[in-house]
């Protein structure tokens, strides 16, 4: 009886039912769209952070640079040997650690032993400034003319140096020392070997290197090519491409070789940490800071605050304006559905009054109204899910490109935990291009179904309360 009456009543009021369903559908579709775009923003930010941290990294441990002593200079300096030849080539490398004050390698084990830490790996970030070129020696020539004041009227000239000068090129690139025993965590974890191979566990102190694809292209390196860093010859064994966005590191070498180049024996600049439980990252951060003094622990949420550009702007809009707008539209849809249902009940006074006169209790009348509203809500939910999925598909198909600028200032911050985050007083910035997608998760679909049921219940509760208060006498008074 309930189902038959429900089907008949909804069929009689198709337009009213459709208006209620469409109102709920628009609100639900907007919620799905905003949630999917917001999820896409989070994925885009994760790609940016993973390209900096390395896959699987939850936090980094660094130490701030100390202020330079009075009279000392932290900037690079170059010395060239004087040679007698008129034109001689000169080359000098300046290798400096960057990304913060160097830490003892033993701290890696201390971090690994902290509660909640799954694994920890140390890395050394270096900045290499290579200056090469040549000096050209000038030649002394007489200026000519005569010196009448000389004894006996002898002629002479004042010699002048003409020609000469210098022509030097400056090449600045970053080097990361990698723990070859655990490459799944650290700066090389976010890279994919596209040519050649990566390090083996036996190459802990081998003079081999993996270079980024962009750097290899600029220097015309390929697998088997050789180059020198501060007089040490390295052989390229692999060329790597970032898994997402761009990499800020040009050259990867075994950690021991990097320590030798940077005169930082048994030192690291960054400790990459993976937590046992991603939900306990803040607790692990406090644990490390409490037990290992003087260190700076940077988590992914801390790093997210350094991301600027259109990605950050769009993410803020989706998080604040978009969600508040979807909530406002959803509340309005619920109210419209409730008011329309209540209005429809008011126009059915004779019907409900007659049903009560025939013996229907108030509870049964209320259930009938709530049932009709629930059907309207589910129809609206189905339409809303369809519209939301269509909107998310359009966003993913268009894939608008957003820019993410990651900048960090060295000095006291030590690069904020960036691998290769700049030397003392150095400011670095890296602009990345990220394609936006709008993934729709099962949780979002479940949320949409819940909203549809909630909308139907709200509308049904309001209409059912109105219907339950009607009396059979009301039906008789409505007869003209």
Task: Give me the mean pLDDT over the 341-364 stretch.
Answer: 71
Domain-located, residue 184? yes
Q: Does residue 355 share a domain with residue 209?
A: no
Higher confidence at residue 152 or residue 234? 234
- Same domain as 118, residue 43: no
Domain count, the chain: 2
Are 267 and 349 within one domain? no
Question: Are 416 and 429 within 8 A, CB to CB?
Answer: no
Indicate whether 41 pLDDT > 80: no
Q: Which of 153-162, 358-367, 464-473 has the lowest mean pLDDT?
A: 153-162
User: How does residue 242 score in pLDDT terms, banded at 50, 70 and 90?
Assistant: confident
Q: Is the pLDDT at 423 greater than 50, yes or no?
A: no
Chosen domain end from 230, 262, 293: 293
> Do both 243 and 345 map to the same domain?
no
The reply to whether 286 and 317 lie within a common domain is no
In the structure encoding, which two tokens stand for residue 28, read together? Answer: 């639900």
Both 6 and 100 in one domain: the answer is: no
**Domain-ending residue, one of 293, 319, 336:** 293
Weakest mean pLDDT among 4-8, 200-204, 338-342: 4-8
C-alpha Rg value of the chain to the nearest Å: 36
Work out whether strand 251-254 and strand 165-178 pair parallel, antiparallel, or are unpaired: parallel
Give the pLDDT band (50/70/90) at residue 220: very high
Q: How confident is the model at residue 408 (pLDDT cuts 50, 70, 90)?
A: very low
More confident residue, 162 or 59: 59
Least confident segment among 144-158, 189-203, 315-329? 144-158
Residues of the chain above pLDDT 90, percent = 19
Mean pLDDT of 216-222: 93
- How many whole angstroms separate alpha carbon 116 and alpha carbon 283? 8
The answer to the question of residue 271 being in a domain is yes
Residue-wise DSSP of 176-188 = EEE-TT-TTSSGG
Q: Is residue 118 part of a domain?
A: yes
pLDDT, greater one: 401 or 470:
401
Contact criterion met (CB below 8 Å) for 53 and 303: yes
Domain containing 187 equals 90-133+168-293
Q: In this predicted model, what pLDDT tens digit does every residue of 104-133 receive, in sequence order?
A: 999 999 999 999 999 999 999 999 988 877
Q: 78 falls in which pLDDT band (50, 70, 90)?
A: low
Token pair belonging to 205: 């102190």
Say if residue 373's pLDDT is above 70.
yes
Residues 182 and 266 in one domain: yes
Q: Of 134-143, 285-294, 307-316, which gets the smallest average pLDDT? A: 307-316
Task: Assess if residue 75 is contained within a domain.
Answer: no
Quick check: is 302 in a domain? no
| pLDDT (0 to 100) of residue 473 | 64
Shared-domain flag, residues 125 and 196: yes
> Is 343 part of a structural domain of the chain?
yes
Are residues 250 and 283 located together in one domain of the fold?
yes
For residue 129, which of 97, 158, 92, 82 has the smallest C-alpha distance?
92
* Same-domain check for residues 322 and 446: yes
Tell whether 20 is covered by a domain.
yes
User: Are residues 100 and 235 located together in one domain of the fold?
Assistant: yes
Tell me the average pLDDT of the chain.
75
Global confidence as pTM? 0.56
Q: Residues 46-65: pLDDT tens digits?
A: 666 555 555 457 788 888 76
pLDDT at 427 over 60: no
Average pLDDT over residues 413-420: 40
Would you say residue 159 lies in a domain?
no
162 versus 33: which is more confidently predicted? 33
237 and 179, same structural domain? Answer: yes
């Amino acid at each position: 009886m309930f189902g038959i009456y429900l089907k008949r009543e909804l069929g009689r009021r198709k337009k009213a039912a459709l208006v209620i369903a469409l109102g709920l559908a628009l609100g639900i579709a907007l919620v799905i769209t905003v949630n999917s775009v917001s999820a896409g923003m989070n994925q885009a930010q994760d790609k940016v952070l993973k390209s900096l941290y390395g896959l699987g990294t939850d936090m980094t441990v660094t130490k701030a640079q100390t202020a330079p002593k009075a009279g000392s200079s932290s900037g690079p300096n170059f010395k060239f040997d004087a040679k007698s030849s008129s034109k001689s080539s000169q080359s000098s490398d300046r290798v400096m650690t960057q990304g913060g004050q160097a830490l003892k390698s033993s701290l890696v084990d201390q971090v690994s032993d902290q509660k909640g830490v799954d694994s920890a790996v140390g890395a050394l970030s270096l900045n290499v400034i290579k200056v090469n070129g040549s000096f050209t020696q000038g030649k002394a020539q007489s200026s000519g003319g005569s010196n009448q004041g000389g004894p006996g009227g002898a002629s002479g000239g004042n010699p002048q140096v003409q020609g000469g000068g210098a022509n030097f090129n400056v090449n600045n690139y970053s080097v990361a020392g990698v723990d070859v025993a655990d490459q799944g965590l650290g700066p090389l974890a976010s890279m994919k070997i596209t040519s050649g191979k990566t390090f083996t566990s036996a190459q802990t102190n081998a003079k081999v290197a993996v270079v980024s694809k962009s750097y290899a292209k600029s220097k015309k390196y390929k697998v088997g090519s050789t180059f020198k860093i501060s007089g040490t010859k390295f052989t390229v064994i692999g060329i790597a491409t970032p898994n997402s966005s761009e990499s800020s590191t040009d050259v990867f070498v075994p950690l021991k070789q990097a320590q030798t180049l940077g005169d930082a024996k048994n030192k690291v600049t960054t400790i990459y940490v993976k937590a046992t439980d991603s939900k306990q990252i803040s607790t692990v951060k406090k644990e490390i800071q409490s037990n290992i003094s003087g260190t700076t622990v940077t988590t992914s949420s801390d790093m997210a605050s350094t991301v600027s550009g259109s990605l950050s702007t769009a993410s803020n809009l989706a998080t604040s304006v978009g969600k508040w707008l979807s909530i406002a539209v959803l509340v309005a849809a619920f109210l419209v559905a409730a008011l329309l249902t209540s209005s429809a009940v008011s126009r059915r006074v004779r019907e409900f009054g007659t049903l009560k006169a025939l013996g229907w209790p108030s509870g049964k009348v209320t259930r009938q109204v709530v049932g009709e509203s629930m059907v309207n809500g589910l129809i609206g939910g189905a339409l809303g899910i369809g519209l939301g999925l269509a909107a998310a598909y359009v966003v993913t198909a268009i894939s608008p490109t957003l820019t993410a600028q990651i900048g960090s200032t060295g000095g006291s911050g030590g690069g904020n935990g960036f691998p290769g985050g700049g030397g003392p007083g150095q400011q670095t910035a890296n602009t990345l291009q990220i394609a936006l997608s709008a993934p729709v998760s099962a949780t979002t679909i479940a949320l949409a179904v819940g909203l549809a049921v909630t909308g139907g219940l709200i509308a049904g509760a309001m209409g059912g309360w109105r219907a339950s208060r009607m009396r059979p006498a009301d039906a008789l008074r409505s007869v003209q």
